[in-house]
Chain A
Amino acid sequence: MTRKILLLLAHPVLERSRVNRRLLDGARGVEGVTVHDLYEAYPAMQLSVRREQKLLLEHDVIVFQHPFYWYSTPAILKEWQDLVLEHNWAYGQKGHHLDGKITLNVVSTGGPEQAYSEQGFNRFSVRQLLAPYELTAHLCRMTFLPPFVVHSAFHVESDAQFAPVVVEYRQLLEALRDGTINLEAAARLTRINSALPVGEQKGTP
């Protein structure tokens, strides 16, 4: 089986990005991935709900790729949630259009990994901070996967240095596409990066 992946990119200044631009370049080469650059599509942040909903219907995996701003997403993604995930379309008694789809966030943070832990400077893991996304997925009856996180984004200087992460990201997307990922095992992780639980197909529909 092959799943179709929708990559929703939210970066207001991608031209100055270190991580997201490189990740995006990597993802563009993966077959079955549709890249949808939100700030490019809606320069004045006026979203087309119909267009967004149509894209969602056409895909099985929804990836939100964005930098971590104030422990959350850039503004346009909030707008996207508010407007696109309509009652009785995405959720509610008559809202079953997203049922069973898989969703995850791909996040870059400035701080290092150890800062995002109970003992660390930020006290919570990225997965914990993404609780609103986990609950949104739950409400829309989607399968939530833990985030793919790139820490220490400020540290990234060259393509060569970052290449292993891009490979990891492409592997994740390919595994999602081909259904070679154990969703149940994956769902228990804090972050999905290198520990791709490959193999058994128990959790896949």
Chain B
Amino acid sequence: MTGSVLVQAVIYLAAGVLCVPVAKRLGLGSVLGYLIAGVLIGPSLLGLVGGGGHVMHFAEFGVVMMLFLVGLELRPALLWDLRRPIFGLGGMQVAGTAFVVMGLGLLAGAGWRVSLSVGLIFAMSSTAIVLQSLGEKGLLKTQGGQSAFSVLLFQDLAVIPILAVFPLLAAEHGPALSLAPGSARPGWLQALFIVGAVALIVLSGRFVVRPAFRFLAETRLREIFTAFALLLVVAIAALMQAVELSPALGTFLAGVVLADSEYRHEIESDIEPFKGLLLGLFFISVGAEIDFRLLLDKPLLIAGLLLGIVLLKLVTMYGFARIFGLEKPARVITAFGLAQVGEFAFVLISFGQQTHVFGEEVGRPLVAVVALSMLATPGLFMVLERWVLPALAARMPQRSQDAVSHDDAAVVMAGFGRVGQVVGRLVRMAGYPVTVLDLDPEIVDVLRRLGQPVYYGDASRLDLLYSAGCENAKLFVLAIDEPEKSLEVAELVRRHFPKLEILARARNRQHYYQLRKIGITHIVRETLGSSLELGQGALKRLGVRAHTAHRIAQRWREHDDAALEEMLQFVGQGDDVWLTEAKKALANFEKAMADEMGGRAHLKDPGWDNESLRDEVNARFAANR
């Protein structure tokens, strides 16, 4: 029962929309929600869609996009920092797991070729599920999260040589040694192609893509910007396929190249929804893929294999992490996180069948076990989060808490014009990292050339606020000059990040009151400070002492603030009320200042010149005479 594309789309979308929020509400996480949706609509239960194979092919693109986004998050410097866990821990995990599984296979009497290939398949974990889950639970930035990430990255890299090795494992066939499977090209030419493609990505990322993004940003056509971002990812994927490299790896590389570009956050939030949906589709397909008949036919075999592989991966990963010298919480996070078999396994299984390394009788149960192990992952994460980590934390009270709280930028700033620049630089110089968003490509361009980390983007977009790190930031500085835009952003931040403190710049009194109405209390009127300074300067030129002029200006500010606060209650009560009250407030203000100054160019400050004291002292002096 397939029907038209539209009907299919309705089925997939509806399943996702129904299952994911429910799963999330129940604390199961979105990945499990998608998987359950897939099981529901799959051939085994409702039979609304066929085996997910064809959709899966399309949905795999979600993984490609995810790796692009992962790359975008990773600056080259960070990648360099992670080289030890990537190659050390990652290498140990892939090789170690493969050999342990192979050994077990040999013991069970399987041939070494099949055993080794299954070992390599089982060594893979699910980048999609693990990163999504770690991110959702806020564990990605912990030591354990970073280690898991490093291992996954190595696995993604390892897929390429593994694909190259598989044909060699095929008993019947003996194809020529080539870097990529089934390649018609000789090895050296293929190598040349690969180097060329990588160089093309890196160089064009630097010299073509960034100017192109700048050009498109200047046109202010948001959908074209999005289209270009998509085009970039798809084109790279196509290029990589042409040279028979993993598209995921290629887009990952492109992401890394663009990671320190000013358009990083904008690209991120453009691709993000596509990635989310496609990944969702991918998980649904995995759910639909599970062959429940096989499950009913050989429940013990499948259950045994599933339990065996998950336990084996958990225990070995813990061991590797321990050898590698990780802390205990990091060890369990890595081990629990990577215990499933990943989506690359599907690719490898189908490839293994194609190249006749093993037949369908091996492949089908493998698919079921892999899918079920992915299905088990959210459960494992739940165990990790509810019982294992709390138990560890209870034993070492101060340890695991710290790492999560101060990551990312402490300050997110919207607007980097005349006002924002000073604020941003001041705060950054004081040692607080600032993420700045501005919508003017020229400003962004110029400032980036001056070495300021500024990003192009519209702060009134929620997704962009998320990718700028509003969830973890301590302060949001709203320095946009247009009142309407400023209010829009203020409301958005207030609604979606209620705990994030906002410091706002107000254009004028009206804007000030509008901000107050939204519930923002820390507001600075943008012209007040400089006006007072000018006034102070004028007094000084007129011969008033500098300190006196300074104090008068400060006192003015106090009374003006008080008058502003007093008028707040009359906002929205109609023009007549407002006008009457404004007149009153102005009169009060002028009277208060007049009382302070007594008509002269100084404040009274009796402590410094007390007439009553002078009279008293003079009287006593006269009496003593």
Docked-complex contact B608 and A110, CB < 8 angstroms: no
Q: Is B613 in the interface zone, CB < 8 Å from A?
A: yes
Q: Is A131 in the interface zone, CB < 8 Å from B?
A: no
Name the CB-closest residue of A to B543: A15
Chain B residues, CB < 8 A from A16:
602, 608-609
In the complex, what distance in Å separates the CA atom of A157 from the CA atom of B407?
67
CB distance from A119 to the nearest CB of B (A): 13
A112/B621 contact (C-beta < 8 A), A14-B545, A16-B609 known: yes
Q: Is A44 in the interface zone, CB < 8 Å from B?
A: yes
> What are 17 pairs between A and B in contact, CB < 8 Å?
A12-B547, A12-B548, A12-B605, A15-B548, A15-B602, A16-B602, A39-B545, A42-B547, A43-B546, A44-B550, A110-B613, A110-B617, A112-B621, A114-B624, A154-B618, A155-B618, A155-B621
Docked-complex contact A13 and B617, CB < 8 angstroms: no
Chain B residues, CB < 8 A from A14:
545
Contact with A along B567-610 (1 / 0, CB 8 A): 00000000000000000000000000000000001100100110
Chain A residues, CB < 8 A from B544:
15
Docked-complex contact B618 and A13, CB < 8 angstroms: no
Q: Which of B233-283 contact A (CB under 8 A)?
A: none
**9 tightest Cβ-Cβ pairs between the two chains A and B:** A43-B550, A43-B546, A39-B547, A154-B614, A43-B547, A40-B546, A16-B609, A13-B608, A154-B617
In the complex, what distance in Å separates the CA atom of A44 from the CA atom of B529?
14
Q: Is B549 in the interface zone, CB < 8 Å from A?
A: yes
Name the CB-closest residue of B to A155: B618
A110/B550 contact (C-beta < 8 A), A12-B608, A13-B545, A16-B602 known: no
Chain B residues, CB < 8 A from A69:
608
Chain A residues, CB < 8 A from B614:
110, 154
Docked-complex contact A152 and B621, CB < 8 angstroms: yes
Docked-complex contact B550 and A13, CB < 8 angstroms: no
Chain B residues, CB < 8 A from A40:
545-547
Docked-complex contact B546 and A39, CB < 8 angstroms: yes
Q: Which of A28-50 contact B (CB under 8 A)?
A: 39-45
Docked-complex contact A13 and B609, CB < 8 angstroms: yes
In the complex, what distance in Å separates the CA atom of A40 from the CA atom of B550?
10
- The number of chain A residues with a CB under 8 A from chain B is 20
Chain A residues, CB < 8 A from B549:
43
Name the CB-closest residue of B to A74: B608
Chain A residues, CB < 8 A from B601:
15
In the complex, what distance in Å separates the CA atom of A178 from the CA atom of B536?
41
Chain B residues, CB < 8 A from A197:
none
Q: Which of A1-42 contact B (CB under 8 A)?
A: 12-16, 39-42
Chain A residues, CB < 8 A from B605:
12-13
Chain A residues, CB < 8 A from B609:
13, 16
CB distance from B329 to the nearest CB of A (A): 46
CB distance from B563 to the nearest CB of A (A): 24
Q: Is A95 in the interface zone, CB < 8 Å from B?
A: no
Chain A residues, CB < 8 A from B617:
110-111, 154
Chain B residues, CB < 8 A from A12:
547-548, 605, 608
In the complex, what distance in Å separates the CA atom of A110 from the CA atom of B621?
11
Chain B residues, CB < 8 A from A152:
621
- The number of chain B residues with a CB under 8 A from chain A is 19
In the complex, what distance in Å separates the CA atom of A14 from the CA atom of B605?
13
Chain B residues, CB < 8 A from A42:
547
CB distance from A29 to the nearest CB of B (A): 20
In the complex, what distance in Å separates the CA atom of A45 from the CA atom of B547?
8
In the complex, what distance in Å separates the CA atom of A43 from the CA atom of B540?
10
CB distance from B537 to the nearest CB of A (A): 10
Chain B residues, CB < 8 A from A44:
550
CB distance from B603 to the nearest CB of A (A): 9
In the complex, what distance in Å separates the CA atom of A130 from the CA atom of B72?
67
Q: Which of A137-177 contact B (CB under 8 A)?
A: 152, 154-155
- In the complex, besides A111-B617, A112-B624, 4 extra interface pairs with C-beta distance below 8 angstroms are A13-B609, A42-B547, A154-B614, A155-B621
CB distance from A39 to the nearest CB of B (A): 4
Chain B residues, CB < 8 A from A39:
545-547
In the complex, what distance in Å separates the CA atom of A73 from the CA atom of B441?
55
In the complex, what distance in Å separates the CA atom of A114 from the CA atom of B323?
86
CB distance from B15 to the nearest CB of A (A): 66
**A12, A69, A155 interface centre (most CB from chain B within 10 Å):** A12
Chain B residues, CB < 8 A from A41:
546
Contact with A along B540-566 (1 / 0, CB 8 A): 000011111110000000000000000
In the complex, what distance in Å separates the CA atom of A14 from the CA atom of B549?
13
Chain B residues, CB < 8 A from A43:
536, 546-547, 549-550
Chain B residues, CB < 8 A from A111:
617
Contact with A along B612-623 (1 / 0, CB 8 A): 011001100100
In the complex, what distance in Å separates the CA atom of A69 from the CA atom of B621?
19
Name the CB-closest residue of B to A110: B617
**A112, A154, A155 interface centre (most CB from chain B within 10 Å):** A154
In the complex, what distance in Å separates the CA atom of A139 from the CA atom of B594?
47
In the complex, what distance in Å separates the CA atom of A182 from the CA atom of B390?
81
In the complex, what distance in Å separates the CA atom of A187 from the CA atom of B395?
70
In the complex, what distance in Å separates the CA atom of A112 from the CA atom of B614?
12
Name the CB-closest residue of B to A45: B547
In the complex, what distance in Å separates the CA atom of A156 from the CA atom of B564?
44
Docked-complex contact B602 and A13, CB < 8 angstroms: yes
In the complex, what distance in Å separates the CA atom of A154 from the CA atom of B610?
10
CB distance from A13 to the nearest CB of B (A): 5
In the complex, what distance in Å separates the CA atom of A154 from the CA atom of B614?
6
CB distance from B598 to the nearest CB of A (A): 11
Contact with B along A83-116 (1 / 0, CB 8 A): 0000000000000000000000000001110100
Name the CB-closest residue of A to B550: A43
In the complex, what distance in Å separates the CA atom of A47 from the CA atom of B502?
32
CB distance from B480 to the nearest CB of A (A): 29
CB distance from B121 to the nearest CB of A (A): 69
CB distance from B617 to the nearest CB of A (A): 5
CB distance from B546 to the nearest CB of A (A): 4
In the complex, what distance in Å separates the CA atom of A13 from the CA atom of B621?
25
CB distance from A11 to the nearest CB of B (A): 9
Name the CB-closest residue of A to B622: A155
Chain A residues, CB < 8 A from B618:
154-155
Chain A residues, CB < 8 A from B602:
13, 15-16
Chain B residues, CB < 8 A from A112:
621, 624
Q: Which of B262-313 contact A (CB under 8 A)?
A: none
CB distance from A66 to the nearest CB of B (A): 12
In the complex, what distance in Å separates the CA atom of A197 from the CA atom of B569?
71
In the complex, what distance in Å separates the CA atom of A114 from the CA atom of B618?
14
In the complex, what distance in Å separates the CA atom of A43 from the CA atom of B532?
14
Chain A residues, CB < 8 A from B546:
39-41, 43
